[in-house]
């Protein structure tokens, strides 16, 4: 049964238009019922304006609503991830290997496991990634973070591993309010060091080298340099009003609703923009400034990463990618490798802590190219090892710790190398050069699942995983 309220006709007056005063205004808004032929256009206009108002409420959809922020953390060079995150046999990480001698730590030692995030990490200050995460984020924040892993092959010291899920996530629907595409700290199709399985120039992330690059890429252009904010706003108002007026000419077209959306989601948000658009510079945000300890420097790595994390979390852009270099760190000594791992941990922790302070969820993917092996029984990484690679995913939910179905997909062997025989759907998806792309698609499945959109996976993915096979690769 419809309520009386719903029977009432809604009068929607576009912003900047006067409330109806004259007879003409009343006719325009369809308040005065008149002869049919006069009423028809008014009625259509009314519908269109209602659609326009509805469109305003769904602008978020165009801005990626429903898809949580996504960040790739790319450790270029082949980090020793299994020296930080526990890998195990087919029963999961705690199905321990016979020995971890070449993986840089002994998970059987007393108190060696930190299971705070689901996927066990090397405790006792062995894992500097863990130390960095805990240093940058509060215990309260970290209680709502969970991580899981994919054990897989990837090529050593190469950007050809198609491990980054960034463009897959972009295509799936994560679009920014200002920049639809993602952003990245490397000028590549993935925005990072490692490549992406979906190579589409139109999805190329915007290259960010300066904390102000996002702000600068959304500007009115050089013609407005000497024009005041007030005059820019008057011009924007005029363009919006003109477009709203012109909309009426197209009200009978099937695309009328889309045109109304353009007016409300495209033109309308610009009404208050001056020369500089607020909300794009992390230096102006107290939380970002504190978490990233920002100074006036606009180009150092930390400043650039803060801009990427901040704008991704705020939904200003699509997904983000930050690349930390120099992870080809074998034979560089423990001090150096620890310092690099700590740097990675700090960046992960800062992104999660900022998400927490902004009250946003964050899904991230830690990737690397290849891996390393250590001199037996030590943490001295002494060679590359593409059989000791892995990808880690993390999900921070500000509402509470995410549930996990499992914490490891794929497996290692007793000898401390990848188990190439793990099969899903009758295929070995983790073993050869196609493994990184397969894993990127699995990351997409987990991202969609965490976003409540797993049903989209079949349409968006590049590997045929359905039913039990799909379930078997879900961590979240």
Partner 1 sequence: MNKKLIFMIFLIAINLLSFSNACFAVPATVGVKNFRGLYYSLAAVTGIKPTPEINKYFKSIMTRLPKDGRLDEVLNPSTLMSIKGLAALFCKEFSKNNRDLSQKSDQEILAVLSDRIYGRNLSDAELKTQLSLISSAQDKVFVACTSQASSMEFLLQ
Pick 218 or 424: Cβ nearer partner 1: 218
- What stretch of H or E contains 206? strand 206-207
Paired strand residues for 323: 74
Find out whether 352 and 215 touch, Cβ atoms under 8 Å.
no
What CA–CA distance (Å, rounded) separates 214 from 208?
Answer: 7
Which residue from 363, 386, 374, 324 is spatially nearest to 152, judged by alpha carbons? Answer: 386
**Candidate list 19, 36, 222, 400; residue touching partner 1; CB under 8 A:** 222
Pick 242 or 423: Cβ nearer partner 1: 242
Shortest distance, position 220 Cβ to partner 1, whole Å: 5
Q: Could you give the count of Cα atoms lying within 13 Å of 178 in the half-sphere of its Cβ?
A: 24
Q: In whole angstroms, what separates CA 74 from the centre of its chain?
A: 13
Write down the residue that tokens 């960095």 correspond to: 132
Max CA pair span of the chain: 91
Q: Among residue numbers 116 through 175, which ones bind partner 1 (CB under 8 A)?
A: 175
Shortest distance, position 441 Cβ to partner 1, whole Å: 25
Shortest distance, position 226 Cβ to partner 1, whole Å: 10
186 in contact with partner 1 (CB under 8 A): no
Report the SS3 class of residue 228.
coil
Lookup: tokens for 469: 């096979």
CB atoms closer than 10 angstroms to residue 98:
10
Lookup: tokens for 254: 């099937």
Pick 175 or 388: Cβ nearer partner 1: 175
What CA–CA distance (Å, rounded) separates 256 from 44?
Answer: 10
**Candidate list 133, 247, 393, 418; residue touching partner 1; CB under 8 A:** 247
Helix axes 36-57, 229-247, angle to 10 degrees: 130
Site string for partner 1, 38-77 (x = CB under 8 A): ------------------------xx--------------
**Candidate list 245, 331, 403, 414; residue touching partner 1; CB under 8 A:** 245
Shortest distance, position 258 Cβ to partner 1, whole Å: 5
What CA–CA distance (Å, rounded) separates 295 from 241?
Answer: 41
Which residue from 361, 360, 264, 320 is spatially nearest to 60, judged by alpha carbons? Answer: 264
Paired strand residues for 390: 151
Lookup: tokens for 73: 């953390």
Pick 268 or 330: Cβ nearer partner 1: 268
388 in contact with partner 1 (CB under 8 A): no
**Candidate list 32, 44, 113, 235; residue touching partner 1; CB under 8 A:** 235
What CA–CA distance (Å, rounded) separates 394 from 439?
Answer: 14
Shortest distance, position 176 Cβ to partner 1, whole Å: 8
- What stretch of H or E contains 468? helix 467-471
What CA–CA distance (Å, rounded) separates 253 from 242?
Answer: 18
What CA–CA distance (Å, rounded) separates 33 from 44?
Answer: 13
Show the beta-strand stretches assigned E in 4-86.
70-75
Pick 224 or 433: Cβ nearer partner 1: 224
Pick 269 or 325: Cβ nearer partner 1: 269
233 in contact with partner 1 (CB under 8 A): no
**Candidate list 25, 106, 180, 469; residue touching partner 1; CB under 8 A:** 180
**Candidate list 234, 333, 415, 458; residue touching partner 1; CB under 8 A:** 234
Backbone angles phi, psi at 409, to 5 degrees: -120, 135
Shortest distance, position 362 Cβ to partner 1, whole Å: 22
Shortest distance, position 461 Cβ to partner 1, whole Å: 22
Find out whether 428 and 461 touch, Cβ atoms under 8 Å.
no
Which residue from 154, 230, 222 is spatially nearest to 435, judged by alpha carbons? Answer: 154
19 in contact with partner 1 (CB under 8 A): no
Site string for partner 1, 257-286 (x = CB under 8 A): -xx-xxx-xxx-xx--x-------------
207 in contact with partner 1 (CB under 8 A): no
30 DSSP assignment:
T
What CA–CA distance (Å, rounded) separates 104 from 443?
Answer: 26
Shortest distance, position 269 Cβ to partner 1, whole Å: 5
Shortest distance, position 23 Cβ to partner 1, whole Å: 15
Pick 43 or 267: Cβ nearer partner 1: 267
Shortest distance, position 291 Cβ to partner 1, whole Å: 26
217 in contact with partner 1 (CB under 8 A): yes
**Candidate list 5, 35, 223, 400; residue touching partner 1; CB under 8 A:** 223
**Candidate list 19, 36, 111, 221; residue touching partner 1; CB under 8 A:** 221
Q: Which stretch binds partner 1 (CB under 8 A): 79-87, 92-100, 215-223, 368-376?
A: 215-223
Count, residues near partner 1 per rule CB under 8 A:
47
Residue numbers at the binding site for partner 1 (CB under 8 A): 62-63, 175-180, 202, 204, 217-224, 231, 234-239, 241-243, 245-247, 249-250, 253-255, 258-259, 261-263, 265-267, 269-270, 273
């Amino acid at each position: 049964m419809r309520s009386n309220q719903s029977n009432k006709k809604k009068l929607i007056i576009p912003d900047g238009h006067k409330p109806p005063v004259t007879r003409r205004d009343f006719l325009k808004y369809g308040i005065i019922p008149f002869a049919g032929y006069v009423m028809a256009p008014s009625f259509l206009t009314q519908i269109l304006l209602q659609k326009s108002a509805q469109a305003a409420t769904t602008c978020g959809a165009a801005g990626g609503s429903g898809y949580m922020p996504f960040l790739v953390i790319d450790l270029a060079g082949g980090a020793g991830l299994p020296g930080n995150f526990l890998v195990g046999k087919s029963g999961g990480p705690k199905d321990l290997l016979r020995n971890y001698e070449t993986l840089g730590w002994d998970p059987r030692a007393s108190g060696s496991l930190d299971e705070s995030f689901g996927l066990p990490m090397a405790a006792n200050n062995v894992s500097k990634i863990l130390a960095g995460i805990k240093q940058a984020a509060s215990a309260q924040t970290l209680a709502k973070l969970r991580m899981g892993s994919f054990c897989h092959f990837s090529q050593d010291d190469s950007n050809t591993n198609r491990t980054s899920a960034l463009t897959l996530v972009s295509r799936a629907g994560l679009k920014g309010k200002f920049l639809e595409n993602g952003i990245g700290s490397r000028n590549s199709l993935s925005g990072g060091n490692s490549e992406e399985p979906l190579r589409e120039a139109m999805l190329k992330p915007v290259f960010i080298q300066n904390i102000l690059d996002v702000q600068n890429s959304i500007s009115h252009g050089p013609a407005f340099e000497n024009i005041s904010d007030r005059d820019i706003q008057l011009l924007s108002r005029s363009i919006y009003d003109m477009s709203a007026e012109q909309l009426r000419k197209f009200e009978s077209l099937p695309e009328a609703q889309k045109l109304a959306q353009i007016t409300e989601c495209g033109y309308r948000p610009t009404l208050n923009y001056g020369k500089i658009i607020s909300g794009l510079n992390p230096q102006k945000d107290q939380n970002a400034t504190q978490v990233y300890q920002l100074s006036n420097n606009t180009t150092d790595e930390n400043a650039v990463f803060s801009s990427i994390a901040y704008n991704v979390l705020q939904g200003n852009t699509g997904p983000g990618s930050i690349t930390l270099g120099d992870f080809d760190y074998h034979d560089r000594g423990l001090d150096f490798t620890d310092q690099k791992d700590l740097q990675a941990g700090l960046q992960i922790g800062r992104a999660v802590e900022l998400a927490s302070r902004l009250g946003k969820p964050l899904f991230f993917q830690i990737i690397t190219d290849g891996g390393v092996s250590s001199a037996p029984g030590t943490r001295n990484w002494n060679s590359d090892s593409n059989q000791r690679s892995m990808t880690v995913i993390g999900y921070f939910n500000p509402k509470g710790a995410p549930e996990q179905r499992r914490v490891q997909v794929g497996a290692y062997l007793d000898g401390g190398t990848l188990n190439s025989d793990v099969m899903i759907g009758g295929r070995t998806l983790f073993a050869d050069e196609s493994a990184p792309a397969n894993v990127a698609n699995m990351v997409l499945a987990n991202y969609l699942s965490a976003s409540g959109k797993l049903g989209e996976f079949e349409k968006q993915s590049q590997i045929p995983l359905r039913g039990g096979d799909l379930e078997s690769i879900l961590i979240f």
